[in-house]
Amino acid sequence: MSHGPATQWGEDKAIAYKTKFGLWLFIIYVLVYIGFIWINVSSPKTMAMIVFAGQNLAVVYGFGLIALAFVMGIIYDYLCTKKEEELNVEGSDK
């Protein structure tokens, strides 16, 4: 018993924008993460320094990475939704 899709999906004209933007965000995140790894490998004592509220740099940087991923996800969702609404207007020839 197949019910089929709940909604009709048409062509997504914003796919190129979403792909390119997503790759840029990924590259930015990877560079920030590489910084985290680089500090850990090259200077473990730096990561042990207390920097904020009694926490060492490793903990603060780690939570910063999690927060960065969350914020980037929100930005991605907002900007891609805006672009979809702009390009996928029904009956539009853009």
Please report whether residue 94 resides in a domain.
Answer: no
* DSSP 8-class letter at 32: H
pLDDT given for residue 17 in this prediction: 93
Boundaries of domain holding 61: 15-87
Closest by CA position to 60, among listed 48, 44, 45, 43: 48
Please report whether residue 34 resides in a domain.
Answer: yes
Question: Which tokens in the block code for residue 17?
Answer: 């924008």
Please report whether residue 62 resides in a domain.
Answer: yes
pLDDT given for residue 75 in this prediction: 97
Name 52's bridge partners.
55
What is the distance, to the nearest Å, from the Cα of residue 75 to the centroid of all Cα atoms in its chain? 7
Q: Which amino acid is at 43?
A: S
Closest by CA position to 45, among listed 59, 29, 57, 33: 57
Number of domain units in the chain:
1
pTM check: above 0.95: no
**Which regions in the chain score pLDDT beneath 50?**
91, 94
